Structure 1
Amino acid sequence: MSAAPVRTFEVRNVQVARALFAALAAAMVTFSPDHSAGVGLAVFSGWAIATALVLLFGAWLAYGAGARATPVLLGVLTLVAGMIAGLPGIRSTTLFFVLVIAWALATGLVELISGIRRRGTDEHARDAILIGAVTLALGAGLLLVNPAYSLEYFIREAGQTGVLTGITIGVGLFGGYAAVVAVFLGIAGFSPRRPVVDATAEVGPVVGHNAEERA
């Protein structure tokens, strides 16, 4: 039996690229003093479009013909969400919550189901299950945030007042999500692959050895 062709671009490369863009998004949210809807949607748009391109190109370069449906679907959904978020004229608090929640629930469910279906046959299935679950958690977390929430607070030590709003919490949740994705996909991408055991190579010598003992 001929060996399967070696791919120069593998699933681990897709994971590392996704981790890199997620880390950039997390850093932009973390170090930005402005957590408004405009900034949140701008960061989400850039991250989503870049991630979508990685998924779409990776579908053809890193996945086999029978495994391309999931990355293509994830790429299309993420690209559409990123393009909508990239329209400056419609950016608002409502759009941020509606768009990110819809994207998170849709893509999280797709990736989670894909990972569960491939469990036991694909070494990357566990990563898909984890990322799918985390993405669903982002959608669920945003559903619990009231976009109209507003709380004024005073920091006595600094002598400053501030306002905690729903959009501040929402953008912060997305930044936290991006950081978690960056860590887990980075670990998955750089972890050594599990060796594939050739069952046919193991059976022959064992059977022969047992036959000699019986003789």
Structure 2
Amino acid sequence: MPDASPRTFEVRHLQMARALFAAIAAVMITFSIDHSAGVGVAVFSGFTVATGLVLLLAVWLVFRAGARWPSMILGLIMLAAGMIGSIPTLRTTEGFFILVMVWAFIAGAAELTLGLVGRRQDTPAAREAVFVGALTLVLAVALIFIDRGYNLEYYIDDAQRSFSLTGITIGVGVFGGYAAIVAVYLGIAAFSPRPAPAVTADPAHTTGGTA
């Protein structure tokens, strides 16, 4: 029997929540002068736990029976990554790169695949899932090419102080940029007009009434 009960929230509400948490992560990284591994893993952990919980809540609040499993899969992946990130021994440069790369490959591949399947089935937010999934895979690839041992010392006359650009600084910054793009994209998607549901014509009216 199809689940015809009204939903408490819509897909746009899920996108708003995901955009909000991504924006918080981007702001925390952008306006933090500390781009260390500890900060990067902490922000990543909070972002994935919050996003995972929202996706799991959406299983019951947004989606109908038969369309819940994609949100369940993504929610569990996010939540697992965030919980692993809470382990103190992983808050190192190596731990940050490994954790975020593994998560990005798994979550990106899963969301991209689910989005492609959803597009064939014309499910809501399938296009957004394709974009976010592909972008997450790009994040994983980008982190592979960052030299974790990179260290550049430079001096800025106006500030009258020296600064260091390291591999972990670049890595955390790249993740912050990823979060910012996700926030903007999902935010726009959430407020974009959606096509009205198709209305089934009444046979009695289409045939000019009953005989």
The TM-score with structure 1 as length reference comes to 0.88
Instruction: Quickly say closer, same or farther: Cα 1:37–1:129, change in 2 above 3 A.
Output: same
Q: Distance in 2 between matches of 1:95 and 1:117?
A: 33
* 1:176 paired residue number: 177
Which stretch has the larger CA shift, 97-106 or 145-154?
A: 145-154
Q: Is the 8 A contact 2:3 2:64 kept in 1?
A: no
Question: Taking every aligned residue pair, what percent have the same amino acid on both sides?
Answer: 53
Q: Distance in 2 between matches of 1:147 and 1:67?
A: 41
Q: Distance in 1 between matches of 2:58 and 2:101?
A: 25
Which stretch has the larger CA shift, 86-95 or 178-187?
A: 86-95
Q: How far is the alpha carbon of 1:204 from its aligned partner?
A: 8.0
Within 5 Å, which residues of 2 pair with 1:18-37? 18-37=18-37
Q: How far is the alpha carbon of 1:144 from its aligned partner?
A: 1.0
Q: Distance in 2 between matches of 1:8 and 1:126?
A: 23
Q: Is the 8 A contact 2:29 2:35 kept in 1?
A: yes
AA aligned to 1:34 is: D
Q: Distance in 2 between matches of 1:203 and 1:140?
A: 55
Q: Distance in 2 between matches of 1:117 and 1:204?
A: 36
Q: Could you give the per-residue CA deviations for residues 67-125 of structure 1, whole angstroms, max 9, x where no partner exists?
A: 22221111111111111111223311001000000001101111111111111512311
RMSD over aligned Cα atoms: 2.1
Q: Distance in 1 between matches of 2:166 and 2:64?
A: 46
Which stretch has the larger CA shift, 20-29 or 58-67?
A: 58-67
The TM-score with structure 2 as length reference comes to 0.90
AA aligned to 2:95 is: L
Q: Distance in 2 between matches of 1:136 and 1:166?
A: 20
Q: How far is the alpha carbon of 1:44 from its aligned partner?
A: 0.7
Q: Secondary structure of the residue that 2:119 maps to in structure 1?
A: coil
Q: Secondary structure of the residue that 1:43 maps to in structure 2?
A: helix
* 2:133 paired residue number: 132
Within 5 Å, which residues of 2 pair with 1:1-215? 4-120=4-120, 121-198=122-199, 200-201=200-201
Choose between structure 1 and 2: higher helix proportion.
1
Q: How far is the alpha carbon of 1:167 from its aligned partner?
A: 0.4
Q: Is the 8 A contact 2:151 2:164 kept in 1?
A: yes
Count of aligned pairs between the two proteins: 206
AA aligned to 2:63 is: Y
Q: What are structure 1's unaligned runs of at least 5 residues? A: 209-215
* 1:211 paired residue number: none
Q: Could you give the per-residue CA deviations for residues 42-69 of structure 1, whole angstroms, max 9, x where no partner exists?
A: 1111111111100111112111222222
Q: Is the 8 A contact 2:3 2:65 kept in 1?
A: no
Q: Distance in 2 between matches of 1:197 and 1:57?
A: 27
Q: Distance in 1 between matches of 2:203 and 2:108?
A: 41
Q: Distance in 2 between matches of 1:10 and 1:3?
A: 15
* 1:212 paired residue number: none
Q: Secondary structure of the residue that 1:105 maps to in structure 2?
A: helix
